[in-house]
Structure 1
Amino acid sequence: MSKYLQIGLAAAISAVPLAGCGGDSPDRGPVKGGPEVPWQLPRSPDPGVRDALRGLFDGFSTRFAAEQELVHRCMAAKGFRYVKLTAPATDAHPTMGKDDYGIGVAAAKRHGYKTQERIGGPQNDPGAADLKLLSEADRKRWGEAFYGPDDVKRIRVTLPDGKQIETSPVGCLSEARIKIFGSLEQMLKGENFAANLPIEARRRAGADPAMKTLNSTWSACMSGKGHPALPDPAAARSQAATRYKSASADQAFRAEIKLAVADAECELKNNYAAQRRRLEDLYYTAGMRRYEADITAIREMNQAALARAKKILTS
């Protein structure tokens, strides 16, 4: 039942795919519900487009800390213990992390992909032990206090792309978000859309013929170095991580170094990282322009919520 405590950064953002965007681009692949309408690609990407996307989560750390404080107070008022989750040290966009490509040869020779750092053990749930001590009936009551009862009529929200998500309108978590954002619907719409826009942009970039050619050239280079059947650099990283499940750490690390060096050499030979970043940035720019009004609304919502969060944390 420790699932009731999993409301950190990943759980706060629902992975809802985007679809149905307008414009012109090479990507015309079908999606569920009908043909996909392509985006309008610019001649060149906007400078700083990645920073602009990351900026859609400015203030997240403070807002999350305020949310946790309100949830703690609410659960205590209902007679339950709640251990607050620690807010991120810095604001972080949940889907704009480090690229899964672009490694240098020198770095690859030193530490490969740093796989052992990335696949460290799962973070401890600070309240899991307490929850396990409760009876089944009390765990159910705890969950209803936190999320609201299962049979409550849920709020349904339509995202700017037409997709829909839903959530409980009651419970300590939703009540906290309402106090911070003013509107649960707008909070869900804004944060879900902001998190999924980069994912959709990368999906469309991945379907672009230029990306397919780039990956095909890289893959052929890797095959020539003894690493066949790898469609892209992300697959190489995945293969490196998988080896740690079946081999000793030393054996897996040696294999990782060999694979990472080959990857880096093939990327260098074809200027892979620069070409891919530019292509992805074109799609990031197209998405930001396509949803300019929605993005402006998200920024305004976040600023107002940040002001409320600061007051909550000092009250």
Structure 2
Amino acid sequence: MKEVLVGSACAIALALLAGCSAEQPAGPAPATRPLDPTAADLVARAGSYYADEQVLQDAEATLVHRCMTTRGFRRPPPAPAAPVSHDEEWRPDPAHRRTDGYGLARAGRGEPPDPYFVALAPAHQERYQRELVGDMARRATLDLPSGPQLSYPTTGCLAESRAQLYGDVMEATRVTSVTQDLHNTVYLAAQADPEYRRTLARWADCMKRRGHPYGSPQQARNALAAERRSAAPTAAQRHEVAVAVADAECAAEVALPGTFESLLRRHAELLPEAQRAELNRLATSRAAALRHARQVAQR
């Protein structure tokens, strides 16, 4: 006859767990580490972010130039990169606005042709590209937190220069691309925040009083871009500057820059813990790259 085992739930649990007891209250949740100040600045594009970007860009250009020289391309040394613009929709730069408006005159033009590259023979242009960005068949991929997959070079002077700064080309890509991706995520969350919507409504009231009835800075840009397609260039530029300056003044009046920056920081703290930990790590890695970049400038 088949033997039947009879026992309480506790007896069964005893065999599996070597003990049985009443349900115990959960212990305290593991402490979560907040974002380090440098990581918060990185995702909010605040603090010394732009000045640091300038240092990193100049160092990368210098290292690429040295690498390409060793491969036979003796072009003039790179000039310092143009200052990284601090003018943003939520943090307008009044001086920039008074001279360039929203910068729509330059929009879509892209980078001017490189005189050195254009002067090369076609075969040398092909080799130049290969030495710069490496073997296309040996590119690697990185999955970004928001979902897209990024392809990046692992060979060539560009990859070698980034590896010198960051210690590894994948780390260089993570520092630049993962932080950008998380910034985008936080930016969209800040834009959807009710506090931003209330501030934006006050900005729109300010603009309306000044004769510019736009609901948002983006709406103003879109309207002025459309105007450029039909109005005389001089008149369109004059109108663009007037609106862009009023935009900056209204942003200051309603404290838009400070409000939005605080929202960026707040929503950065709401990222999943694993992403916050990665931001802290990447901020440390970027700080080390900055130290290397400053050494490059001194050689």
The residue that corresponds to 2:183 in the other structure is 198
**Equivalent position of 2:60 in the other structure:** 67
Decide which moves more: 177-186 or 200-209. 200-209
Partner of 1:77: 70
Percent of pairs identical after alignment?
24
Residues 226 and 208 (structure 1), Cα distance of their counterparts in 2 relative to 1, 3 Å cut:
same
Secondary structure of the residue that 2:138 maps to in structure 1?
Answer: coil
Task: List per-residue Cα deviations over 1:43-76 (Å, max 9, x = no partner).
Answer: xxx9x95587434566443333332222222212
Structure 1: distance between partners of 2:73 and 2:219: 45
Mapped partners of 1:207, 1:146: distance in 2? 41
Please identify the structure whose Cα radius of gyration is greater.
2
Residues 245-283 of structure 1 show CA distances to partners (whole Å, capped at 9, x for unaligned) of 533355335534664687679778977666555544432
Cα distance in 2 for partners of 1:213, 1:53 equals 22
SS at match of 2:270: helix
Q: Is the 8 A contact 1:288 1:295 kept in 2?
A: no
Q: Distance in 2 between matches of 1:240 and 1:62?
A: 34
Aligned-residue Cα RMSD (Å) equals 4.4
Q: Which whole-Å CA distance do the structure 1 matches of 2:104 and 2:76 have between them? A: 25
Deviations 1:160-183 (A, max 9, x none): 556532212111110111122111
1:270 and 1:59 mapped to 2: Cα distance? 29
- Whether the aligned pair in 1 keeps the contact of 2:203 and 2:250 (CA below 8 Å) is yes
Give the drift of 1:144: 0.4
Q: Given residue 302 of structure 1, which amino acid in structure 2 is its aligned partner?
A: R
Does residue 1:141 correspond to 2:127, yes or no?
Answer: yes
How many pairs align?
A: 259
Please list every run of 5 or more consecutive structure 2 residues that lacks an aligned counterpart in the other structure: 1-33
The aligned amino acid for 1:300 is T
1:37-186 matches, cutoff 5 A: 50=41, 53-54=45-46, 55=48, 59-88=52-81, 97-101=86-90, 114-116=99-101, 118-119=103-104, 121=106, 125=112, 128-150=114-136, 152-159=137-144, 163-186=148-171
TM-score by length of 1: 0.61
Write the distance in 1 (CA, Å) between the matches of 2:100 and 2:232: 14
SS at match of 1:247: coil
For 2:232, the equivalent position in structure 1 comes to: 248
When the two structures are superposed, what TM-score results if normalisation uses the length of structure 2?
0.64
Tell me what 1:9 maps to.
none
